[in-house]
Amino acid sequence: MSEAKIEEIDCKDMISALPEELLVTILLHISIKDAVATMILSKRWRYIWMMLPILDYNETNDVDHDHDVVVGDDDDNDDLESKSIWWFLDKSLKLHKAPVLERLLISLGRQCPSDASVGNWVAKAVDRGVIVVKFKLRWSAGPTRLPKSLYTCETLRELTLSNKVLVDFPSFSCLPSLELLELYNVVYKDEASLARFLSSCHVLRYLAVRRKKSDNLTNFIVKVSSLWNLWYINTIRLQDDNNVVDSSSCLVIDTPALMKFDVTDYSRDSWSIGNMPCLEEVYISVDSLSTFDKIISVSSAIFSLELTFSNEMLVRCSTLRFSRLIRLYVDPNTSDWVNPLLLLLKNTPKLEELFVNNEYIYELIYELMEDFPLSWNQPSSIPGCLSSHLKIFEWKYYGHREEEEELLNYILANSKCLKTTTIYLRPMLDPEEQDFIIEKLKDIPRVSTSSQLLFN
Q: Is 346 left (phi over 0), alpha (psi -120 to 50) or beta?
A: alpha
CB atoms inside a 10 Å sphere around CB 365: 12
pLDDT at 4: 58
Q: Provide the 3-class DSSP secondary structure of residue 163.
A: strand
Long-range contacts (CB closer than 8 Å, 24 or more residues apart) made by 266-269: 266/234, 266/235, 266/236, 266/237, 267/211, 267/234, 267/235, 267/236, 267/237, 267/238, 268/237, 268/238, 268/243, 268/244, 269/220, 269/234, 269/245
Q: Tell me the angle at which helices 85-95 and 118-127 cross, rounded to the nearest 10 degrees.
A: 30
Q: How far apart are CA 189 and CA 217, in angstroms?
A: 8
The distance in angstroms from the start CA to the end CA of the chain is: 68
Provide DSSP, 272-329: EE---TT--EEEEEES-HHHHHHHHTS-S---EEEEE--HHHHHHHTTS--TT--EEE
Q: How far apart are CA 135 and CA 159, in angstroms?
A: 8
Q: Quick: pLDDT tens for 55-76.
A: 998 876 444 433 333 344 433 4
| Contact call for residues 143 and 164 (beta carbons, < 8 A) | yes
Q: How far apart are CA 19 and CA 25, in angstroms?
A: 10
| Contact call for residues 205 and 177 (beta carbons, < 8 A) | no
CB atoms inside a 10 Å sphere around CB 369: 14
Q: How far apart are CA 169 and CA 40, in angstroms?
A: 43
Q: How far apart are CA 357 and CA 363, in angstroms?
A: 11
| Contact call for residues 92 and 70 (beta carbons, < 8 A) | no
pLDDT at 249: 86
Q: How far apart are CA 308 and CA 303, in angstroms?
A: 17
| Contact call for residues 320 and 297 (beta carbons, < 8 A) | yes
Per-residue pLDDT 10s for the chain (456 aa) are 555 556 655 566 677 778 888 988 888 888 888 888 888 888 888 888 889 999 998 876 444 433 333 344 433 443 443 355 777 888 888 888 888 899 999 998 888 888 888 889 999 999 999 999 999 999 888 999 999 999 999 999 999 999 999 999 999 999 999 999 999 999 999 999 999 999 999 999 999 999 998 899 999 999 999 999 999 999 887 655 555 666 678 999 999 999 999 999 988 888 999 888 899 999 988 877 788 878 877 777 789 999 886 767 777 777 788 889 999 998 887 677 888 888 889 989 999 999 999 876 665 555 555 556 778 888 889 999 999 999 999 999 888 888 889 999 999 999 999 999 999 988 777 888 888 989 999 988 999 888 899 988
Q: Quick: pLDDT tens for 109-135.
A: 888 888 888 889 999 999 999 999 999
Q: How far apart are CA 281 and CA 295, in angstroms?
A: 12
CB atoms inside a 10 Å sphere around CB 367: 7
CA–CA distance from 59 to each of 38, 83, 296 (Å)?
Answer: 20, 10, 42
Q: How far apart are CA 396 and CA 24, in angstroms?
A: 46
Give the burial string for 249-288 (b: 16+ CB within 10 Å, else e): bebbbbbeebbbbbbbbbbbbbbebeebeebbbbbbbbbb
Q: From the CA atom positions of the chain, what is the Rg in Å?
A: 29
Chain mean position to CA 28: 25
